[in-house]
Each structure stands twice: as C-alpha cells, then as structure tokens.
Amino acid sequence: MNAVSDNPAVELRGVHKWYGQHQVLRDVSLRVSRGERIVICGPSGSGKSTLIRCINRLEEHQQGHIFVDGVELTTDLRKIDEIRRDVGMVFQHFNLFSHLTVLENLTLAPVWARKMPKKEADDLALHYLTRVKIPEQAGKYPGQLSGGQQQRVAIARALCMNPKIMLFDEPTSALDPEMVKEVLDTMVQLAQDGMTMLCVTHEMGFARQVADRIAFMDAGQIVEMNSPDEFFARPRHPRTQEFLSQILH
C-alpha cells in the first residue's frame, strides 16, 4: 500500500442502507488510502454496487458517515456536485449520452460543470481519447461504436473531469467476451498511473494483477478483506471459499 496523506481518499463508517424494508448495507466500514486500488466482489445482491453508488451519492445512505477526500457527504446538494466532480464513475452499461458525439460526451461536463473554455475542453478530450486509444472515433455517435469502445469512451469521459478517485461498477459485465481485455487494459494502465480506484468486478485476473486489497461482500456486509495473495490462497470466510470455488475452476 502506498498511503501517504493524513486524509484517506474515501472513508465509510458504520454505513447502513435500506430499500424500503430490505436492508442492503449493514454497518459497512472501509478506509481507502490515496492511490490504493480496491476490488470489491461477491455474489449478486450482496450490496457491492449500492456501496460504490453511495460514495458519489447516486444512492443515499441512511445511517453512518461517508467521507470523500475528507468531506462528509450530507444533503447539501452543492457540496455533492463538487464531490462528484472529483469522483469519476464508470457504469456497467456505459451510459454514454446517445444524442451527443463521442467528443461532445467528453467535453460536456468540463464545459458546463467546470466552466472550461470549449477549445481547452476539446484538447483535453482528445488527449484522453488518445490515452484510451480511440482518438479517431471522436466525431462518431455512441451507437456507432462497439461495446468495448463505448466503455473506453466512458472511462475517458470520467477522466476528463480530472478525478481524484475512480469508481467502476462492473465495467466489463455487459461486454462481449472479445472486448473485455481492451477495457481491462485501460484500467490496468490507469492503476499504474497511481489512480485511486474502487472496482466492483468479477475479473479475478484483474483483481490479482492490480488490487492492493480485495473486499468480499455478502448480504450487505464486507465479510472478508485481504491482499490478493492471501485472498486467493487462503480465503477464511466460508462464503468466500464457496464463491471462489464456484468461479475459479
């Protein structure tokens, strides 16, 4: 781990959340240091997505505290918008703006949320499109790209806001098998550049290669958290053992 600063990048303290009567997060606590890469895995319905969606408040937690970069998430909308500008998010279904070109997708938030001049935003967008290796697609619409290309555009779109933290919500689950690698390669590159990352994913190869720690969730709780070596070699919780035996053959 390469924690340097006094403030953790993300801190959750005793977070609870319910959908109606159904509890989806139970007393979850987590500290993510700057530059740290955390992979969150677990069975479906275990609360992984809800957990990372709480970090940029796409979902509201009902008890406990969440701090992002030292700032607590409260109902203050302006503060939330500021935090969201510093927290990039990549979705399972890309969620690119289908009425805008790739370039417009990338420049929308810098221009309107950061008040960046159009020219500067275009340059920035092209820079990140080059980084995800598809600058030639700038003028196309999302519907004209493959799934892998769309997800790389989505990553570039998040990076254009120059975020301090990146959240990934199953970024490869909706992709054709042949396109998973190009997206994972982009994420590995991002990790090597020192980005603080929280990834919900079932790509165990990626987890082994990139993660500092792997968190395993079950029924709304983090039931195991360990370095990849320990996690794969000596899983302690029976649920983790069962899960790993199912997905690693």
Partner 1 sequence: MSELAQAPHVAYGQKPSLPAPTARSRGLIHIFFGDLLSVCLTIATGALLLALLPKVLDWAILSGVWDGDGAACKGGGACWAFLRDKYRQILFGVYPANEQWRPAAATAMILAVALWSLPPRNWTRTTLTLWLVCMAAVLGLMSGGIFGLASVPTTSWGGIVITLLLTVSAIGLGFPIAVVLALGRRSKMKVVSLISVSVVEIVRGLPLLSLLFIASILLPLMLPDGVSIDKLLRAMVALTLFSAVYLAEVLRGGLQGVPSGQAEAAHALGLGWWHTTRLVVLPQAIRKVIPPLTNTVIVMVKNTSLVLVVGLFDLLSSGRAAATDPAWPAPYVESYLFVATIYFAICFSISRYAYWLESRGADNAR
Q: In the complex, what is the shortest distance from the CB of residue 29 to partner 1, in angstroms, rounded to a whole number?
A: 24
| Residues whose CB is less than 8 angstroms from the CB of residue 1 and which lie 6 or more positions away in sequence, other chains included | 33, 36, 212, 213
Q: Name the residue nearer to partner 1 (CB basis): 23 or 95.
A: 95
Q: Name the residue nearer to partner 1 (CB basis): 174 or 225.
A: 174
Q: In the complex, what is the shortest distance from the CB of residue 242 to partner 1, in angstroms, rounded to a whole number?
A: 32
- Cα–Cα distance for residue pair 131/189, rounded to 1 Å: 9
Q: In the complex, what is the shortest distance from the CB of residue 164 to partner 1, in angstroms, rounded to a whole number?
A: 12
- Helix spans in 40-146 (H): 48-55, 77-86, 102-113, 118-131
Q: Name the residue nearer to partner 1 (CB basis): 108 or 188.
A: 108
Residues of this chain that bind partner 1 (CB under 8 A): 56, 58, 77, 81-82, 84-89, 91, 93, 95-99, 108-109, 112-114, 141-144, 154, 157-158, 161
Q: In the complex, what is the shortest distance from the CB of residue 243 to partner 1, in angstroms, rounded to a whole number?
A: 27
- Cα–Cα distance for residue pair 39/200, rounded to 1 Å: 6
Strands 221-226 and 87-90: unpaired
- Cα–Cα distance for residue pair 180/126, rounded to 1 Å: 23
Q: In the complex, what is the shortest distance from the CB of residue 98 to partner 1, in angstroms, rounded to a whole number?
A: 4
Q: Name the residue nearer to partner 1 (CB basis): 16 or 140.
A: 140
- Cα–Cα distance for residue pair 87/162, rounded to 1 Å: 9
Alpha carbon 208 to chain centroid distance?
Answer: 17
Q: In the complex, what is the shortest distance from the CB of residue 99 to partner 1, in angstroms, rounded to a whole number?
A: 5
Cβ contact 186:128 at 8 Å: no
Amino acid at site 35: G
| Residues whose CB is less than 8 angstroms from the CB of residue 19 and which lie 6 or more positions away in sequence, other chains included | none
| Residues whose CB is less than 8 angstroms from the CB of residue 181 and which lie 6 or more positions away in sequence, other chains included | none
Q: In the complex, what is the shortest distance from the CB of residue 90 to partner 1, in angstroms, rounded to a whole number?
A: 9
3-state DSSP assignment of residue 165: strand
Q: Name the residue nearer to partner 1 (CB basis): 27 or 86.
A: 86
Q: Name the residue nearer to partner 1 (CB basis): 99 or 118.
A: 99
